Amino acid sequence: MAEQATLRDSLEKVASFNNFWSVRDDGTPVKFVDMITECRHHNNIVYLSLGSAIMDVNGSPTVEVASRLRFDIGTARNIHTMLGTMIAEMLRADAKA
């Protein structure tokens, strides 16, 4: 549910190792994604592209690429941990409902 607190909201600073990094937000619009268009790895770099499904009434279904992400294995591990925690929280909330 949108009203519930999330694991991590947008921050002004992010900790990385022993440093704090300022977060710069250029106002890129948020896009809803519901498809994975690319998912591979090479030399410890993850290549992940996400897309938005578009189904027009009289047209053929299309997937519009919403984002292309490239990140190292350290970032992949952090995403894995955070998504695992978030999914577990959502499943617990669904079980209570």
pTM (2 d.p.): 0.74
Residue 43: left if φ>0, alpha if ψ -120 to 50, beta else—which one?
left
pLDDT value at 4 more than 50: no
Which pLDDT tens digit goes with each residue over 9-67? 566 877 777 888 888 888 889 999 999 999 999 999 999 999 999 988 888 899 999 99
Which pLDDT tens digit goes with each residue over 83-93? 999 999 999 98
Structure-token match 């994975």, residue found: 36
List the one residue out of 15, 19, 67 whose CA is nearest residue 46: 67
Please tell me the distance from the alpha carbon of residue 55 to that of residue 92, in angstroms, as a whole number: 32
Can you read off the two tokens belonging to residue 56? 């027009």
Query: For the chain, what are the domain ranges?
Result: 33-96
pLDDT of residue 79: 95
Structure-token match 């955070």, residue found: 82
